[in-house]
Amino acid sequence: MAIGSAGAPGAPAPAAPAAPSTSSRPSPHPVDGRRQGLRRRRRRPNTLPYALIAPAVAALVVMLGYPLLRLGILSLQKFGLRQQFGQPPDWVGLDNYHRILTDSYFWDVLWRTVTFAMVNVALTIGLGLLVALLMRTVGRGMRLLVGIGLMLAWAMPALTATVVWQWLFDTQYGLVNWAFTKVGIGDYQGHSWLSEPISFFMVATIIVVWMGIPFVAFTLFAAMSQIPKEIEEAACIDGAGPWQRFRDVTLSMIKPVLLILTALSVLWDFRVFTQIYVLQRAGGINRETNLLGVYAYRISIGENRFDVGAAIAVVMVLITLLLTLVYLRQMVRQEEM
């Protein structure tokens, strides 16, 4: 999976350019030593970086690669509860894939997941950008307050946050229903926020976006603080309005960061599980609110059809790979320009 040329961040630097740069630097060593050093460096390629990252790569390959391999193998077998407890599985080839790809319910769940992910990514990035801009504009004290608030939201575990939000939206004892009724928006007594799929996903979106904004906000704020003030002032002097300044100066300078954040958000929001699963326990019709992550879990661990669940998971991996590839290529092209 070739990511790109030397423009991509994190790509290992080829050995050749290293040698000329070191030889052009003036050295305090005696002439003989320098010549020897030059010769040594020119002959031997620089293997130390590879040696240093080898343990980490090995760990990653084992911890991520082995489950992926196992997943692939599972998706090509007939694997149920009996096989889980010892019976040898049969090979069925692409039968499981055929089964899910011809199941209309799978496509429903897939489109639901894609839509949900897109909406969440748009909201997370958009609102995160606004919060970052806010943090740039306000004074130090306010910025600290906002920062602490974001940190607390970020630090809360997904399960805890979902349970608390679910209590807020509880049908009979929830704070939102009580507040809406008190304020006079309408009679929300006993209103169920999770029974209709649209309303269900709205609550889920609130939770996911609420948890995703801090990371985006902090990262974009850091990126924006790297923009030299002189450029902004120059744009101002040249007569650019605030929107033009934002679009042409700020946005274009933080574009690489923005693209990476979008790619990460797509990855995370596509695989969202905890929030949906916990909300489903609290209400709604499971069949209408399943997303791919939860669906794969219900099929494999719930119904003990590990083979079909594995096939769904592999499809998920391929889709996320595709989505992130698109963004990575965009980002690389951006850097080269």
Partner 1 sequence: MKLRHLAAIGLAGTLGLAACGSSSKDSGSAGTTAAPSPETNAPATSAAAGTTIRLWLNGEDTKQELVDYAIAEFKKLHPEADVQFERQQWTGIVEKLTTALSSSDSPDVVELGNTQAQAFEAAGALADLSAQKAELGGDDLLQSLVEAGTYDGKFFGVPYYAGARIVVYRTDLFEKAGLTVPTTLDEFIAAGVKLKQDNAATPNFSGIYFPGKYWYAALPFIWQEGGDIAVQDGGAWKGTLSSAASVKGLGMVKKIMDEASGAPKDGDESKDYVAFCNGEVGMLMGPGWKLGQILNEKDGCPAMADKVGAFALPGAAAGTTAPAFLGGSNLAISAKSEHQELALDLLKIMAGKGYQTQFAQAGTIPALKSLLGQVSGDEAAKAQAVAALNSRFVPSSENWAGVEASTVLPDMLVSIAQGGDVQAAATQADQAITSQLNG
**Nearest C-alpha neighbor of 125 from the set 3, 227, 292, 251:** 251
Count of residues in contact with partner 1, rule CB under 8 A:
30
Q: Cα 80 from chain centroid? A: 31
Kindly state whether residue 198 participates in binding partner 1, applying the rule CB under 8 A.
no
User: Mask 86-115, x = binds partner 1 (CB under 8 A)?
Assistant: xx----------------------------
Nearer to partner 1, 137 or 172 (CB): 172
Under the binding rule (CB under 8 A), the answer on residue 283 touching partner 1 is yes
25 to 64, contacts with partner 1 by CB under 8 A?
48, 52, 55
Is 85 a residue that touches partner 1 (CB under 8 A)? yes
Position 82 contacts partner 1 (CB under 8 A): yes
Does position 336 interact with partner 1 (CB under 8 A)? The reply is no
Please tell me whether residue 282 binds partner 1 under the rule CB under 8 A.
yes
How far the first Cα of the chain sits from its last, in Å, is 22
Told to check if 214 binds partner 1 by CB under 8 A, we report no
Residues 123-162 vs partner 1: string with x where CB under 8 A?
----------------------------------------
Stretch that binds partner 1, among 18-26, 145-153, 201-209, 283-291 (CB under 8 A): 283-291
Question: Closest distance between partner 1 and the C-beta of residue 280, in Å?
Answer: 8
In the complex, the residues that contact partner 1 under the rule CB under 8 A are 48, 52, 55, 80-82, 84-87, 171-172, 189-190, 192, 194-195, 281-287, 298, 301-305
